[in-house]
Amino acid sequence: MEKAINRQQVLLQHLNPSASSFLSHQNNSALSASACLAGDSAAYRRTNVFGDDVVIVAAYRTALCKSKRGGFKDTYPDDLLAPVLRAVIEKTNLNPSEVGDIVVGTVLAPGSQRASECRMAAFYAGFPETVPVRTVNRQCSSGLQAVADVAAAIKAGFYEIGIGAGLESMTTNPMAWEGSVNPRVKQMEQAQNCLLPMGITSENVAHRFGVTRQEQDQAAVESHRKAAAATASGKFKDEIVPVATKIVDPKTGDEKPVTISVDDGIRANTSVSDLGKLKPVFKKNGTTTAGNSSQVSDGAGAVLLMKRSVAMRKGLPILGVFRTFAAVGVDPAIMGVGPAVAIPAAVKSAGLELDDVDLFEINEAFASQFVYCQKKLELDPQKINVNGGAMAIGHPLGVTGARCVATLLHEMKRRGKDCRFGVVSMCIGTGMGAAAVFERGDCVDELCNARKVETNSLLSKDAR
């Protein structure tokens, strides 16, 4: 702005009747240089902000497979992450050395071990030693947190290109508490509730908010039905990266080479009557069963983000725009309600209303909390998890956020101009929720932030 004012002063000096009198009368001159109250021209400011958008140019995942007995039961975690990291680079022809950071959401493995595995996976994927890697753990939202962290870093100017990823092998690292628990926890109910089994929190939600067993089983059936339909129609092919691996026969030890490219937990023929035969898992007279809970799974995902100006310069197609992110805290005893709090917070931050959102990907940790959040927010069922959710596809904790971003953005792309805004959200163990708002990549408003000028006689507001 200072340079602009200096240029104005030079021009005004030439416009004055007497250049010699400019210095002595510049304070009293009818012509003076000042900053226009509107700032730079609206068109320029629009272009400037537009170019600074954080956009997603690629989002991929592996298939999600049942832990202990699925397609990835004999696959090392780093061999799950490497293929998706490689895919986001190869499919965009991006030089891997240009990536400023790789942030991997992951939950269950020991921190230092998983950090090493992620660094190893980056090398396997072809990244040079100059590209750093770190992990992040916000439990079930870790994959989404990784994407949000990269978006924030790009916005802050730390780098222009980054990858938010997710990795979990629940075969290798099952859910378990290691070591002793601080006895002090008994002195505070909220602290105690942080240790509740997730299934008990599901029962608490169902009991407190009146979510019936019938509603939960029906939601599970719908999840499987939609996921099976999406698989059969080839919708997931746009987001799934095939992984060449092996299956080991537990009896003979024989290894069989396989390529995994389909989620293996989806049951197309699941019915309410079948699910009704399952016994509650966490509470004798409860309603939460193995059939209406998310599947324990293995998998990985990766999302490539960059400034819009960089993507445009490189000629890369823009899959989506990262708009806002919100993480919130809720009562640990009913942690599943997290999305019902996080979604409104994120949507409000984006300057939108819930009705403006065209698609939702809400993680189905348990049918009880999924049904509650849908009813609480009064969301149109036709907008939620249109290709199924975690009860059918699976929930590898650190991957789910990245998986949901990939599923959401590819579906928004398929739907075109009638689908502009999407939301990814999930509940989080110990009582939290997270949500992020995305915009379809090819959406651009017409210029609408310029002040309406009634006459053409004024150069700026300062001339009045």
Residue 254's pLDDT band, with cuts at 50, 70 and 90, is very high
Q: Which residues pair with 307 in a beta bridge?
A: 54
- pLDDT per position as a tens digit, 271-319: 999 999 999 999 999 999 999 999 999 999 999 999 999 999 999 999 9
Q: Could you tell me the CATH number of the domain that includes residue 332?
A: 3.40.47.10
pLDDT (average), residues 318-325: 97
d(CA 408, CA 416): 12
Q: Estimate to the nearest angstrom the gap between the alpha carbon of 75 and the chain centroid.
A: 25
CA-CA-CA-CA torsion sign (158, 164, 169, 170): positive
Return the structure tokens found at 448. Answer: 């609408």
User: What pLDDT score does 256 carry?
Assistant: 96
- What percentage of the chain exceeds 70 in pLDDT? 85
User: What pLDDT score does 14 carry?
Assistant: 62
- pLDDT per position as a tens digit, 434-454: 999 999 987 755 444 444 545
User: What pLDDT score does 445 carry?
Assistant: 53
- Residue 133 falls inside a structural domain: yes
Task: Give me the active site residues, please.
Answer: 140, 395, 427
Residue 12's pLDDT band, with cuts at 50, 70 and 90, is low
User: What pLDDT score does 177 carry?
Assistant: 86
CB 282 within 8 A of CB 206: no
Q: Which DSSP letter does residue 243 get?
A: E
d(CA 452, CA 462): 15
pLDDT at 34 over 80: no
- Residue 73 falls inside a structural domain: yes
User: What pLDDT score does 412 carry?
Assistant: 97
User: What pLDDT score does 317 carry?
Assistant: 93
Indicate the burial class of 18 (C-beta count within 10 angstroms; 0-12, 13-18, 19 or more).
Answer: exposed
pLDDT (average), residues 403-429: 96
| Weakest-pLDDT range from 31-35, 71-75, 107-111 | 31-35
**457/134: higher pLDDT:** 134
Return the structure tokens found at 310. Answer: 């960089």
d(CA 406, CA 306): 16
d(CA 78, CA 169): 9
Return the structure tokens found at 260. Answer: 């995994």
- Residue 178 falls inside a structural domain: no
- Residue 166 falls inside a structural domain: yes
Question: Using CA atoms in the order 238, 240, 243, 246, what is the torsion angle rounded to 10 degrees?
Answer: -130
Contacts of 354 by beta carbon, 8 Å cutoff, 6+ apart = 343, 344, 347, 377, 378, 379
435, 437, 391: which is closest to 412 by C-alpha? 437
| Weakest-pLDDT range from 4-18, 46-60, 149-163, 239-253 | 4-18
Q: Which DSSP letter does residue 463 get?
A: G
pLDDT (average), residues 38-49: 45
User: What pLDDT score does 35 carry?
Assistant: 47
pLDDT (average), residues 232-254: 96
pLDDT at 42 over 60: no
pLDDT (average), residues 159-181: 94
**Overall domain count for the chain:** 1
- Residue 459 falls inside a structural domain: no
- Residue 444 falls inside a structural domain: no
User: What pLDDT score does 379 carry?
Assistant: 97
Q: Structure pTM? A: 0.86
pLDDT at 365 over 50: yes
CB atoms within 10 A of CB 260: 25
User: What pLDDT score does 51 carry?
Assistant: 83
**13/388: higher pLDDT:** 388
- Residue 24 falls inside a structural domain: no
- What percentage of the chain exceeds 90 in pLDDT? 82
Q: Which domain holds residue 428?
A: 34-39+51-173+193-438
213, 329, 223: which is closest to 275 by C-alpha? 213
d(CA 256, CA 246): 5
- Residue 9 falls inside a structural domain: no
Q: Rounded to whole angstroms, what are the CA distances from 291 to 214, 254, 270, 275, 392?
A: 12, 32, 9, 6, 9
pLDDT at 431 over 50: yes
Structure-token match 């019902």, residue found = 340
* SS3 label, residue 304: strand
Contacts of 30 by beta carbon, 8 Å cutoff, 6+ apart = none
DSSP secondary structure, 340-368, as one string: HHHHHHHHHHTT--GGG--EEEE--SBHH
- Average pLDDT over all residues of the chain: 90
Helices (H) and strands (E) in the chain, counts: 14, 12
Residue 178's pLDDT band, with cuts at 50, 70 and 90, is confident
Intra-chain end-to-end CA distance of the chain, in Å: 21
pLDDT (average), residues 118-124: 98
Q: Rounded to whole angstroms, what are the CA distances from 212 to 219, 272, 292, 324, 365?
A: 11, 13, 12, 34, 16
d(CA 64, CA 403): 9
pLDDT at 115 over 90: yes
pLDDT at 421 over 50: yes
User: What pLDDT score does 37 carry?
Assistant: 44
Return the structure tokens found at 133. Answer: 């890697």
pLDDT (average), residues 86-115: 97
User: What pLDDT score does 255 carry?
Assistant: 95
pLDDT at 458 over 70: no
d(CA 12, CA 457): 18
User: Phi-psi bin for 22: left (phi > 0), alpha (psi -120 to 50), beta?
Assistant: alpha
